[in-house]
Structure 1
Amino acid sequence: MRYLKRIFWISVIAGILGLVALLGLYFSMRPNLPSVEVLKDVRLQTPMRIYTKDGKLISQYGVQRRIPVTLDQVPEKLKQAIIATEDSRFYDHFGIDPIGVVRAAINLIVTGEKQQGASTLTMQLARGFFLTREKAFVRKIKEAFIALHIEQVLTKEEILLLYINKVELGHRAFGMGAAAQVYYGKSLDELTLAQLATLAGLPQAPSVLNPISRPERSVDRRRIVLFRMLDEGFITRAEYDEASNAPVTAEKHGAEIEVDAPYLADIIYNQMVEMYGKEEAETGGYRVYATANSETQLAAQNAVTQNLHDYDERHGFRGPIGFLWGDAEQSDATVSDTNEPEPMVTNRPSLDDVRAALSAIDPIEPLFPAVVLEVMEQAVSVMKADGEQVIIEWINLDWAREYITDSRQGSAPEKASDILSEGAIIWIREHEGAWRLSQLPEVSGAFVALNPFDGAVEAVVGGYSFYQSQFNRATQAKRQVGSNIKPFIYASALDSGYTVASVINDAPINQWNAGSGTAWRPQNSPAEYDGPIRMRVALGKSKNVVSIRLLRGAGLHETADYLRNFGFLNEDIPRDETLSLGSGSHTPLEVARAMAVIANGGFLVEPHFIHRVENEEGQELWQSEPVFACDPCQSESQEGISEEVLDREAQLAAQLELSGLSETDGPQQQVQRAAPRVMSEQTAFLVADMLRTAVRTNGSWNKNTYWMGTGWRARNILGRADIAGKTGTTNDSKDTWFTGFSQNMVATSWVGFDDMSRQLGRATPNRNIINRNPEKYNWIGNGLIGSEDGAKAAQPAWIRFMQHVMADLPETEREMPQNIIRVRIDRTSGLLTRRTDHTTMFEYFIRGTQPTVYIQEDEIIDPALVDEPSTIEPDEIF
């Protein structure tokens, strides 16, 4: 009994001394312990996510992948798996588990090694937020002290949720929500028990237990988690058996991208970095909503992709990208991309080897690598990297005549062996429900679409593939605009006293320059000269020499200064007469913005890409405040506003509704700031109306008043009158453009080579296409052959895009502004006339500028009796 008393008092004294020592250690460490109060308002490092305006994920940026979840989004089985594996007494202890501490101490005494850490979930949370993984007594003591504080500040549910969202789980996934996406491409509520158990087992050693890097060890760890769940009574034996025997289904997934629009995402990312700084932008959990919606953006991307393939196919097949076997000399193939295939072998390899070789070649959406297995008479059998074998029919092969140069193509192939041989590695793509022989286009393109009333960017495409070239040609490439500049030259002329009916001499210019000792001889393209011609027809036919004469009439420097009103930078505006032919270089975004002035009635809007920014809880942090094309704009109070102004505001509201803007986006909330007016409403109306005739056929064929605008295919294909636009082509067809608009959209399409010295060339007829559908070819044939220009190379993308965005919109008629009148004029002279036959037409004028003189009967020229103008072969294109 005496010894027992001694042992008791020794234990009490040791306990008191230990407690005193522990308290002393606590107070000595207390000044250096972090405040756990921050956990009440903890902000996890969450990547920035960028969405389309309608909520489709475009991209995410950030080193750490994290998808925070709320407790009701966490499956009960996952909570049970975590608690059973990591801390079975989680709801019973106060942050430190005495039983676990004793167990760890006994293990240390027995083995002499720190194999068990006795860490509770709370202690792991403390380590994750404030400490390191170093196995040291001091760190463990700090961990315990912090855990005690955490238990005082947070509830058990809050601690568990923080753990679920914070824990590191490998492959840069932080938190269970992100891990579910990275390993399975799903949300937590879509996972099976086996998958949930796999995630719950990762915290112990995420680098070596994850199911991608070490699937065997992952299965062993999963079995342990499931056994602990069974032991705790969370699952049945049947559930245990099924889950423990389930196959490993994990594979690495990126963010769950719904709309792959990398050029748009990159623009928004850079703007967010400018607004918040790189680190904050990438870790602040921002949800950024673009001004573009998903359907419009995808329509633009699809239009550009198909258009570049159309151009590429017109100019011939450059051959396979390489060979896996066979006789490479049978083809003039060259490797035209950076994905090097395996060296060619003489004997045909196994299908497994073929798949392995194809897997080494990265696809370039929408292109996929394939190997030709068999060449038939007019078809080929190919195998893709996933092992699928498909047949490419003749209709998807017969375009592939030999590419010689950009302006020369070989003869049309007659059989498949004229194109391909076995063992050839080729690109294929899906086209109209079938697989098609394809190739990576060498030509580049860009596309921008704006809402003309507020400058919201509805779509942007900076090239064929962002993953090949991150250079955004829509916003960064300044290229010569050619005849796309003419609407603004004509606007300057109208504001200088000309009218739409003014007659200008369409005749060759031969101007001697004494300083250089040379003559400037600009030509029309084609080199046809109609003599005296009205401005409307001259713009529609894109007459170069008329544009020069209008520039001279309005004044070179006055016109150059006038162009600055449209947002063109002064340093990009040439101060010589080539200005009238589009020698200035501007980006597609700048051109679209300028054309929006004509489309919206004379206002210069500001292009913007971001609609709003939210935090990860969905609270709005920032919203765009654009200037609107309105004067005056809607105000909070309408007292004293005239009925006329209210009518104009109602028209604006209708236009915004057509543009896809909601009431909260439109005049009721945001139409407060008017965009600067840079052109009168009347001038904008007149230029827009001239551009409508530029995209259609006009007059009567029988009466010889028939003429076609350079963009006539737009009206023929779209079949509606509420569109307008202008083609543009530079010298030697190095840059081609089409910019046009409808009531609610303005868009610019550009096509050219990144190598500015390379011409787009010309295409000769492909007999296979002609024979397959001669009637259709006769209708569109001129768009498939001849020198490339704005109408052939750039306009088709614009037409495809507009076919999509205007499909469900009713055709609208443009309202005629005040002080615009309509009078009947003589077609040839532009003077007033009393006749009402085919020699006359109605024309628009600003009140007070209409002609006052009537043409005399003996001065009238009947177009039906005039011979066709002569044609001279062009050598320059504008």
Structure 2
Amino acid sequence: MKFLKYLLLTLLTLIIFGLGSVVALYYYVKPELPSVETLRDVRLQIPMQVFTADGKLISQFGEQRRIPLTLDEIPQQLKDAILATEDSRFYEHFGVDPIGVARAFSVLITTGSIREGASTITMQLARNFFLTRERAWMRKVKEAFIAIHIEQLLSKDEILELYLNKLALGHRAYGVGAAAEVYYGRSLDELTLAEIATISGLPKGPSILNPISNPPASVERRRIVLRRMLDEGYISEEAYQVAYDAPVTARLHGATIEVSAPYLAEMVRHEMVERFGAEQAYTSGYRVYTTVESKHQLAAEKAVRDNLHAYDERHGYRGPVNRLWGEFTASEEADQQQQNLINPETMAIPENRGVEPWSAEEITAYLSRQPMYGPLHPAVVTEVGEQSAVILVREGVAGASEVELDWAALDWARPYIDESTQGEAPQQASDILRAGDHIWVRRPQPDAPYKLAQIPGPSSALVAMHPNNGALAAVVGGYSFQMSQYNRALQAERQVGSTIKPFIYAAAIEDGYTLATIMNDAPITQWNPGSGSAWRPRNSPEVYDGPIRLRKALARSKNVVSVRLIRSVGVDRTADFMQQFGFEAGDIPRNESLSLGSASFTPLELTRGFAVFANGGYLVEPHFVARIEDVNGEVLEVANPVQTCADCVLQDLYENWWEHELPQAPRVLSEQTAFLVSDALTSAVWGGGSWPNQTGWNGTAWRAQTLRNRNISGKTGTTNDVNDAWFVGYGSGLVVSTWVGFDNLEYSLGRASLNPNLGRDRQPIVGSEAGATTALPGWIDFMQVAMEDFAFDPFDLPTDIVSVRIDDKTGKLSNQSDYTSLFEYFISGTEPTEFVDVEGNSPRLFEDDDDELF
């Protein structure tokens, strides 16, 4: 009894001492303990996501990939796996597991080393939020105290939910939802037991146990998780065995991008950082919905790429990217140098290049390291026949496939000599390819066979805008964002050529001219005493029609008429007038070359300027963010664009964006002038005159007739030496601009001769490149899709606009009702009052007085 008494006293003393020590230790570390009240309002770092207007994911930005899930959204099997592996008594302890602590202590006593950490899920949560992973006794003490506090503050389910969403699981995946996407490209509820067990094993060592970096270690860890699940009764023996033997199926998956629009995504990223700062933009889980519909954006991307490939194919083949075996001939070396000159993207010569052909395994390994740009797939030629070739082509992550290229896939590839010269058309495949060539191939359509391709030499951009509110409907900044992040739609200030002329004509109409005014389409030579040289603006082509009505002069893009108009109106007055369309004063040259398009604007700026004509005279602000939501889908911000009219109806696709009255856009041009310019630009597409009576004529944009819509207005543009090609076309519901040109201003777009292998059917564009032949075809391709959804109705006839019958040649009133006359629109009070002289007297010309001819 005495011994028992001393034993109990000793135990009591130890308990009191232990409790006292714990209390003392708590007060000792208390000043260093963080407040866990923040867990009540915890904000996990969630990446920003960017969507199309119809809810398709374009991109996401953020250091951490995270898909927050509620506990109910997480499969029970995954919760079982985590509990079995990390903390089987989670729902029984108070944040610290005494049994686990005792077990870890006994292991320490018996082995002399720390082999078990005894950390509960709550303790791990405390460490993940407030502490480091430093292996120290004091950290463990703090971890335990914080865990006990957390258990007092949150329920067990809340703790488990936070834990599963906070876990770092490797490859920038945070939380089990993101891990499922990163490793398997699927959501949690779509995973197999083996895949769930793999993810559940990651918390112990996400960098060394993940199935991508270390598959063998991942398998061993997966099997440990499965054994714990079996021991806890969560799975059957049969399910255990199936998952135990399952192969490793994980591979790295990016975000599930539904619509590739990287230039648009980068525009959104930049704007969000400007608004909220980088840290908040990247971690707050913002969901940004753009003004762009997926259908139109995909059509724009395809139109730009197909148009560039069409240009490139008519100018010839620049040779292979590389040769894996065999040597280059002298001419092939020159071809490769030309390829690298036009496309600075260079390929390193493989170390094992030699004479002997490579094996299929070596080729596949080589191709797996090569990039893919949009529709372009890297391939290697393995065999060349008479008019065919066999290649191994990389197809995504699925390795390489053997494909035969037939003659129709190769016959375009005559040699490229320079931008204006092509070699002889090939007669057999060996004229084009050799075994060992590293080449590019593409599919023109998703189900079409592959054809030989190359990275296009020039670049391109496309901008589509709603004229009534400035919302972008599509934007493409180049062939491939992966190749070049330079956004030509927003950043490339290029000379606009003849697309400037509608603004010159608008200034003239505001100055009293009419579409029936007769100007002299004749050569101009102006002597400049200061420079001792003459300025001779010329038409392109160099054809002069003499007296010509302004409508016809604009539609046929007569340069000398544009020069005469700016002289009459005045250069300074015209330059000031153009600022009303949103152009910066510093970008508008104040000399007569302005009339020929020497000003440099971006495609977005030019689209905005043309929108003034399309919407009846209002200046709108371009925008591409429709609304911003938080991570829970609550709307934080809605676009508030200016609109052209208080009661006009938006396109059906967008009518639910705005629930408030939008501010009125400022009027910068009279409705009458906007209508007259737009109507005149329909003649650039449809021409005029009478073809049966041999007076018919085409406008420069006649190829757009293929769209079969009489309400399309448009203007082509080509700069000196064909460095830039433009087309801007529009209707009542959409304005679209396309630009094509080399990033390197030293290169001209050149000209192309007819390839006899293709004929006119497969190569409809022959001769000099220009706005009508280089930019317009891409515009047409896009519009064939866009016109299904956007209005191209006749422009509303403004008040004070009258229509009278005039004589085709003189612009005077006419009583004739045959092909010699036509109806023309005038601002009321400016219509002609004099009838045409049936005797055939010459029309009155508006001439400038300062021509000096010599």
TM-score (norm 1): 0.93
Structural mapping, 1:35-184, within 5 Å: 35-184=35-184
Aligned-partner Cα distance in 2 for 1:330–1:370: 23
Question: 1:221 matched to which residue of 2?
Answer: 221
Structural mapping, 1:856-871, within 5 Å: 856-859=837-840
Aligned-partner Cα distance in 1 for 2:660–2:832: 43
Question: 1:23 matched to which residue of 2?
Answer: 23
Residues 810 and 451 of structure 1, relative CA distance in 2, 3 Å threshold: closer
Question: 1:672 matched to which residue of 2?
Answer: 662
Aligned-partner Cα distance in 1 for 2:567–2:365: 66
Question: 2:587 matched to which residue of 1?
Answer: 572
How many angstroms does 1:11 deviate by?
A: 1.1
Moved over 6 A (4+): none
Where 1:822 maps in the other structure, the secondary structure is: strand
Give the letter for the 1:351 counterpart.
A
Aligned-partner Cα distance in 1 for 2:416–2:75: 59
Indicate the percent of aligned positions where both proteins have the same amino acid.
55
Question: 1:637 matched to which residue of 2?
Answer: none
Structural mapping, 1:249-648, within 5 Å: 249-329=249-329, 332=332, 333-334=335-336, 336=340, 337-343=345-351, 344-385=353-394, 386-432=399-445, 433-630=448-645, 633=646
Contact 2:457 2:742 (C-alpha < 8 Å) held by counterparts? yes
How many angstroms does 1:697 deviate by?
A: 3.4
Where 1:612 maps in the other structure, the secondary structure is: strand
Give the letter for the 1:758 counterpart.
Y
How many angstroms does 1:706 deviate by?
A: 0.7
Give the letter for the 2:413 counterpart.
A
Aligned-partner Cα distance in 2 for 1:405–1:545: 31
Where 2:626 maps in the other structure, the secondary structure is: strand
How many angstroms does 1:27 deviate by?
A: 2.4
Structural mapping, 1:646-725, within 5 Å: 649=647, 652-653=648-649, 656-657=650-651, 660-665=653-658, 669-715=659-705, 717-725=706-714
Where 2:507 maps in the other structure, the secondary structure is: helix
Render the CA deviation track for 1:645-671: whole Å, top value 9, x for unaligned: xxxx3xx21xx225x312443xxx344
Question: 1:867 matched to which residue of 2?
Answer: none
How many angstroms does 1:378 deviate by?
A: 1.4
Contact 1:502 1:534 (C-alpha < 8 Å) held by counterparts? yes
Aligned-partner Cα distance in 1 for 2:783–2:748: 27
| Pair 1:807 & 2:788 matched | yes
Question: 1:643 matched to which residue of 2?
Answer: none
Render the CA deviation track for 1:31-74: whole Å, top value 9, x for unaligned: 32111111111000111111111111111111111111122221
How many angstroms does 1:331 deviate by?
A: 6.2
Where 2:400 maps in the other structure, the secondary structure is: coil
How many angstroms does 1:810 deviate by?
A: 6.8
Contact 1:330 1:421 (C-alpha < 8 Å) held by counterparts? no
Where 1:301 maps in the other structure, the secondary structure is: helix
Aligned-partner Cα distance in 2 for 1:315–1:468: 21
Where 1:768 maps in the other structure, the secondary structure is: coil
Contact 1:90 1:120 (C-alpha < 8 Å) held by counterparts? yes
Question: 2:852 matched to which residue of 1?
Answer: none
How many angstroms does 1:482 deviate by?
A: 0.3
801, 810, 829: which one pairs with 1:829? 810
Question: 2:846 matched to which residue of 1?
Answer: none
How many angstroms does 1:327 deviate by?
A: 4.6
Contact 2:651 2:790 (C-alpha < 8 Å) held by counterparts? no
Contact 1:341 1:360 (C-alpha < 8 Å) held by counterparts? no
Higher mean C-alpha deviation, range 148-157 or range 120-129 = 148-157
Render the CA deviation track for 1:164-223: whole Å, top value 9, x for unaligned: 100111111111111111111111111111100100010011111111111111111111
Aligned-partner Cα distance in 2 for 1:792–1:393: 28
How many angstroms does 1:813 deviate by?
A: 2.4
TM-score (norm 2): 0.95
Aligned-partner Cα distance in 2 for 1:41–1:185: 30
Contact 2:712 2:792 (C-alpha < 8 Å) held by counterparts? no
Residues 457 and 664 of structure 1, relative CA distance in 2, 3 Å threshold: closer
Structural mapping, 1:839-858, within 5 Å: 839-858=820-839
Aligned-partner Cα distance in 2 for 1:3–1:791: 110
Contact 2:306 2:444 (C-alpha < 8 Å) held by counterparts? no
Aligned-partner Cα distance in 1 for 2:290–2:133: 41
How many angstroms does 1:263 deviate by?
A: 0.7
How many angstroms does 1:497 deviate by?
A: 0.4
Render the CA deviation track for 1:556-599: whole Å, top value 9, x for unaligned: 11100000000100000000000000001110000000011111
Aligned-partner Cα distance in 1 for 2:133–2:295: 48
Contact 1:341 1:357 (C-alpha < 8 Å) held by counterparts? no
Aligned-partner Cα distance in 2 for 1:672–1:357: 56
Give the letter for the 1:661 counterpart.
Y
| Pair 1:756 & 2:745 matched | yes
Where 1:328 maps in the other structure, the secondary structure is: coil
How many angstroms does 1:698 deviate by?
A: 2.2
Give the letter for the 2:778 counterpart.
A
How many angstroms does 1:330 deviate by?
A: 8.6
Question: 2:849 matched to which residue of 1?
Answer: none
746, 750, 765: which one pairs with 2:735? 746
Give the letter for the 1:706 counterpart.
G
Give the letter for the 2:572 counterpart.
H
Give the letter for the 1:125 counterpart.
L
Give the letter for the 2:350 counterpart.
E
Render the CA deviation track for 1:728-753: whole Å, top value 9, x for unaligned: 00000001100111221111100001
Where 1:497 maps in the other structure, the secondary structure is: coil
Contact 1:696 1:713 (C-alpha < 8 Å) held by counterparts? no
User: Unaligned stretches of 5+ in structure 1?
Assistant: 634-648, 863-878
Contact 2:731 2:793 (C-alpha < 8 Å) held by counterparts? no
Where 1:60 maps in the other structure, the secondary structure is: strand
| Pair 1:202 & 2:202 matched | yes
Aligned-partner Cα distance in 2 for 1:807–1:662: 17
Where 2:804 maps in the other structure, the secondary structure is: strand
Question: 2:848 matched to which residue of 1?
Answer: none
Give the letter for the 1:494 counterpart.
I
Root mean square deviation, CA, Å: 1.5
Give the letter for the 2:742 counterpart.
F
Report the number of matched residues: 828
Contact 2:733 2:791 (C-alpha < 8 Å) held by counterparts? no
Where 2:440 maps in the other structure, the secondary structure is: strand
How many angstroms does 1:347 deviate by?
A: 1.2
User: Unaligned stretches of 5+ in structure 2?
Assistant: 844-854
How many angstroms does 1:814 deviate by?
A: 2.2
Where 1:722 maps in the other structure, the secondary structure is: coil
Aligned-partner Cα distance in 2 for 1:2–1:330: 108
Contact 1:341 1:361 (C-alpha < 8 Å) held by counterparts? no
Where 2:77 maps in the other structure, the secondary structure is: helix
Question: 2:758 matched to which residue of 1?
Answer: 769
Give the letter for the 1:140 counterpart.
K
How many angstroms does 1:370 deviate by?
A: 0.8
Aligned-partner Cα distance in 1 for 2:716–2:478: 20
Contact 2:641 2:662 (C-alpha < 8 Å) held by counterparts? no
